[in-house]
Structure 1
Amino acid sequence: MEIHDSGLYAAFKAKDNRFDGRFFVGISSTGIYCRPICKAKQAKEENCTFFQSAAEAEQAGFRPCLLCRPELAPGKSVADANVNLSYRAAKLLEETCTYKLSIQELAEQLGYTDRHLRRVFTAEYNVSPVQYLQTCRLHLAKQLLTDTNLTVLEIAMAAGFGSLRRFNAVFKEQYRLTPTQLRKKVITKPTVDEITLSLSYRPPYRWNEILTFLKSRAIEGVEAVIDDKYMRTVRLKNIKNEKIEGWIKVSHNEEKESLNLTVSHSLLSVLPQVLARTKKMFDIYCNPEIIYQALKPMNKIIKDSCVLGTRLPGCFDSFEMSVRAILGQLITVKAAGTIAARIAKTYGHEIQTGINGLTHTFPSSEDIIALENIEESFGVLGVTSAKSRTILQLAELVQTAELNLDFCVNPETEMKKLLAITGIGNWTAQYIAMRAMEWTDSFLETDAGVKKALSGYSAKEMLSIAEEWRPWRSYAVINLWQTL
């Protein structure tokens, strides 16, 4: 999208939700910036300046609109990013905004120099990574001030400001209001032992389909789908390297075109991680119109196979999902789920959630490595010796950071590392890349479901057909599965 395209004002005037989060509008007559779907009185075109990101609008001196709330806009999708590195960097900044990591440390996680990261990031977002990071913190704080009754101190810590004094100073400098003054302008929710935040998406969103997918693969004790809500246990490390446990619930608010994320209060210190992982799991950043237009040729092969709004189910815990994928080799989805549940109950951490069915967190790579003899430990649970050794190799690579499942800029490089693990073949590597690495171009030509959907075609013919679906073949796979 060319940011200076004269059609942007037309999209703003039409309140076109396809552009929500893809650009922001600064209004010179008011000094505020809005989402393109804002329902405030329409500004004149000569008073509008268009920005590629909220951070760029704030650096230009504009304050966020209190009506459309730019902090709720869906983020950029990989389809909008000219450079994959900048997209991955932005998501890493969002998830680690409470950590005191330098840009050099962030760049090293992504496998590049800090100089190159700054250059690419600034070219894509028109702000530096540090400026983008500050906006991430401010937006999280603003959402918590508006939607919860957490204390201002709790919010300052949760958003990564380090101190109340620093939070007040930055907030007032950027928004011309103190946090307390902003809170007086909104009606906050009653105090409870949980936090509920909205995650906006670009409609349409096929909620029932993604929920069905996750339900069929849920690990008993760790995950549950009840009353159209997805729930799971959570165990993460905070900035002090302490293990924090809790739970989340995700439900659909179709009227507001958003998902509601409810988080136990115990997860406040790792809230940015929880938000980022949930957005990834439910493919919040997806731009469905772009993907649909690219995959429409599928309908010539299988009628109505490509449906607008289909999401690519990600995962909350990449290691957990990868173990689940290894367990699922050559057995049914249900059988793999049964074994995964045994592993969680035996070697996971018991947790009190107050939610029926959520009793354990899944063991981490660290927990797996700590087992004295994984073949014996897993063998009694129904895992073959070969799969046990594969899981151990995976855990060791993840623990030493030799394998990057979450923020890899080049998924194909990480897939080669997966393929080097004894017991991981092309299907498993492609599946892990698709769900853990947000790799949009996986294709599973040997998958039983794909072969059934494309019955009559050989593997070679399926690969040839799928060439037309690049770089969205992962979405094509999901669409094919959903035809069955």
Structure 2
Amino acid sequence: MLDADAAYLALKARDLRFDGRLFVGVTSTGIYCRPVCRVRTPKRDNCRFFGSAAQAEACGFRPCLKCRPEIAPADGRLAWSVMDASRTLAHQAAHWLDRHASAGGEAHVEALAAALGITDRHVRRIFKAEHGVTPLQYLQTRRLLLAKQLLTDSALPITQVALACGFGSVRRFNAAFVERYGLNPGSLRKQAAGAATSASDMPVCLQLAYREPFEGAALRRFLAQRAITGVESVEVDGPLPHIRRSVRLTHEHGGETHGWLQVSFPPGRSVVRVELAPQLALHSARLIRLVRRWLDLDAVPEAIDESLAGLPGAGTRLPGAVDPFELAVRAVLGQQVTVAAARTFATRLVNAFGEPLATPWPEVSRLFPSPAVLAALAPEQLGELGIVRQRGAAILALAAQWDSLAPLIDHGPAAPAALLAHLEALPGIGPWTAHYIAMRALAWPDAFPPRDVAVLKAIEQRYGLHGPREAERLAQRWSPWRSYAVIRLWGSLAPAPRSAETERSACIPS
């Protein structure tokens, strides 16, 4: 962590690189801000610096209504780095709490400890040492900041805001909000600049910040080339670039919710705007996590670019997935064929077995088929779509085993080995496909799909090295950011504005 003098210099410069990695509490006002806040810079003697919003709130500071700490990117520096066992467990604990922030009732430390396989006393100790707050303080801050975001950006009734943020009752929500922020939720909604005033059946609109540099056009081009007709639509350029898609949310205890989302990229601002269908409102916390992972909004370009010095594409993001099952099937369809061919097969699959969905846009009209639907198919039904037997068998196996695979993806990329092993045990899925799924569905930053022909070609062109062994040896210098290196190497082969056929999986059976 920066020392106080260095942190104050970052604050004075409003340095975007430290957004989400640094917060400043101002003792004269009792408010804490992001380092990019546009209010007048406070005096040095009045500043206290923190590594997280939870630390600032634990010391009694309230979040700023102008710079809005709740929309800041998370600090992604340590989550993917090699660290000691205690720090790894502390970050896994934070990820578990993030996943449970919107769950009703209490997320007990005992349950967290059981999930990590350690004692509750140990989890409290390592969590406090790494994050500076207790697990329950961290969880409460996550819930209250999410509530602040929904109160500011959406027109959800306060009762629904309380439920969406994991509070069991409005009374408990109001009490916690007043205790922490010194005003009730209704007062905050009235004070918040630009607070929504429309009816509660309108879409939920949110803002999410990211750090510069951000190669948004490259990210959108990558996704546009792989967008499945009817499921996803991407406007790469134009006055307001955007991505629109259908959404299927499967719930932990059964049931599904269907809807749509739109992400737009306002020019000149380091934020994306997220618009959610009204029926997805109660799942806002989960969708915020999905969107942040999908668009890699928590990346720390400074650290990544330093490790990948010499590779073009500063600010390149790692494209993730809103629907990991869709991405996994799409990866299988992409084996040994071009991106365009894989997209054609995926579109046929959606037209044959996807459900219709009403959205505001005619180009987004269907849901990707669910695992249950595909698992019930006969191989001949996939063959009728032109999908060869080996890939059809892999898709059916993926669908049948998805209940076992989904938790490994939902738990995050801290330990990808289990997911890779499960995937490679399925028929028709080899190391390339498993690494590609982990890279995008899991958002694993250190994947390196073996024997990828586009990667090998790019390495040969740039470094004069030949063959997989030389490529693997070179790639070690890029760890733990090899996934980003792969994306940059693929992009280095592409003449603008087209991209290389990067999913052409080495012409090696997988």
TM-score (norm 1): 0.92
1:269 matched to 2:275? The reply is: no
1:420 matched to 2:425? The reply is: yes
**Equivalent in the alignment of 2:9:** 10
Shift of 1:156: 1.6
Query: Which whole-Å CA distance do the structure 2 matches of 1:238 and 1:350 have between them?
Result: 20
**Equivalent in the alignment of 1:293:** 306
Residues 252-263 of structure 1 mapped to structure 2, 5 A cutoff: 252-263=265-276
- The alignment partner of 1:293 has SS state of helix
Quick one: which amino acid aligns to residue 472 of structure 1? W
Correspondence for 1:458 among 464, 467, 480: 467
Contact conserved, 2:77 with 2:303, CA < 8 A, in 1?
no
Post-superposition CA distance 1:389-436 (Å, at most 9, x none): 222332333313586123243112321222222211111111111111
**Equivalent in the alignment of 1:387:** 391
- The alignment partner of 1:273 has SS state of helix
Deviates more, 1:123-132 or 1:136-145: 123-132
1:98 matched to 2:102? The reply is: yes
Query: Which whole-Å CA distance do the structure 1 matches of 2:225 and 2:380 have between them?
Result: 28
Instruction: Tell me: CA distance 1:388–1:104, structure 2 relative to 1, closer, same or farther (3 Å).
Output: farther
Uncovered stretches (5+) of structure 2, i.e. residues with no partner: 494-510
Contact conserved, 1:121 with 1:128, CA < 8 A, in 2?
yes
Shift of 1:318: 1.2
Deviates more, 1:84-93 or 1:286-295: 84-93
1:410 matched to 2:410? The reply is: no
Contact conserved, 1:375 with 1:384, CA < 8 A, in 2?
no
Shift of 1:269: 1.5
Shift of 1:116: 4.8
Quick one: which amino acid aligns to residue 359 of structure 1? S
Residues 171-250 of structure 1 mapped to structure 2, 5 A cutoff: 171-186=177-192, 187-191=194-198, 193-226=202-235, 228-237=241-250, 241-250=254-263
**Equivalent in the alignment of 1:442:** 447
**Equivalent in the alignment of 1:41:** 40
| Identity between Structure 1 and Structure 2 (%) | 42
Uncovered stretches (5+) of structure 1, i.e. residues with no partner: 300-304
Shift of 1:383: 2.0
Query: Which whole-Å CA distance do the structure 1 matches of 2:122 and 2:370 have between them?
Result: 33
Post-superposition CA distance 1:34-65 (Å, at most 9, x none): 11122222222222222121011111111111
Contact conserved, 1:246 with 1:267, CA < 8 A, in 2?
yes
Quick one: which amino acid aligns to residue 261 of structure 1? V
Contact conserved, 1:318 with 1:406, CA < 8 A, in 2?
no
- The alignment partner of 1:424 has SS state of coil
Contact conserved, 2:161 with 2:282, CA < 8 A, in 1?
no
Instruction: Tell me: CA distance 1:418–1:111, structure 2 relative to 1, closer, same or farther (3 Å).
Output: farther
- The alignment partner of 1:33 has SS state of strand
Residues 108-119 of structure 1 mapped to structure 2, 5 A cutoff: 114-119=120-125
Quick one: which amino acid aligns to residue 290 of structure 2? R
Quick one: which amino acid aligns to residue 77 of structure 1? G
Contact conserved, 2:431 with 2:450, CA < 8 A, in 1?
no
- The alignment partner of 2:410 has SS state of coil
Shift of 1:354: 2.7
Query: Which whole-Å CA distance do the structure 2 matches of 1:343 and 1:112 have between them?
Result: 44
Instruction: Tell me: CA distance 1:102–1:348, structure 2 relative to 1, closer, same or farther (3 Å).
Output: farther
Deviates more, 1:431-440 or 1:36-45: 36-45
Instruction: Tell me: CA distance 1:262–1:414, structure 2 relative to 1, closer, same or farther (3 Å).
Output: same
Deviates more, 1:147-156 or 1:429-438: 147-156
Post-superposition CA distance 1:353-405 (Å, at most 9, x none): 13112121112323333x1x431232222222222222233233331358612
**Equivalent in the alignment of 2:294:** 281
Contact conserved, 1:98 with 1:239, CA < 8 A, in 2?
no
Quick one: which amino acid aligns to residue 351 of structure 1? L
- The alignment partner of 1:405 has SS state of helix
- The alignment partner of 1:234 has SS state of strand
Deviates more, 1:4-13 or 1:81-90: 81-90
Contact conserved, 2:263 with 2:273, CA < 8 A, in 1?
yes
Contact conserved, 1:3 with 1:51, CA < 8 A, in 2?
no
- The alignment partner of 2:408 has SS state of coil
Post-superposition CA distance 1:69-96 (Å, at most 9, x none): 1111111114467534444443443343
Query: Which whole-Å CA distance do the structure 1 matches of 2:17 and 2:364 have between them?
Result: 37
**Equivalent in the alignment of 2:503:** none
Contact conserved, 1:145 with 1:152, CA < 8 A, in 2?
yes
**Equivalent in the alignment of 2:402:** 398
Instruction: Tell me: CA distance 1:312–1:376, structure 2 relative to 1, closer, same or farther (3 Å).
Output: same
Instruction: Tell me: CA distance 1:213–1:281, structure 2 relative to 1, closer, same or farther (3 Å).
Output: same
Shift of 1:255: 2.1
Contact conserved, 1:403 with 1:417, CA < 8 A, in 2?
no
Count, aligned residues: 474
Query: Which whole-Å CA distance do the structure 2 matches of 1:174 and 1:54 have between them?
Result: 12
- The alignment partner of 1:311 has SS state of coil
Query: Which whole-Å CA distance do the structure 2 matches of 1:403 and 1:145 have between them?
Result: 31
Query: Which whole-Å CA distance do the structure 2 matches of 1:78 and 1:185 have between them?
Result: 34
**Equivalent in the alignment of 1:302:** none
Query: Which whole-Å CA distance do the structure 2 matches of 1:367 and 1:225 have between them?
Result: 26
Contact conserved, 1:366 with 1:399, CA < 8 A, in 2?
no
Quick one: which amino acid aligns to residue 204 of structure 2? I
Shift of 1:218: 0.9
Correspondence for 2:146 among 127, 130, 140: 140
1:474 matched to 2:483? The reply is: yes
Contact conserved, 1:374 with 1:388, CA < 8 A, in 2?
no
1:321 matched to 2:330? The reply is: no
**Equivalent in the alignment of 1:364:** 370
Quick one: which amino acid aligns to residue 285 of structure 1? D
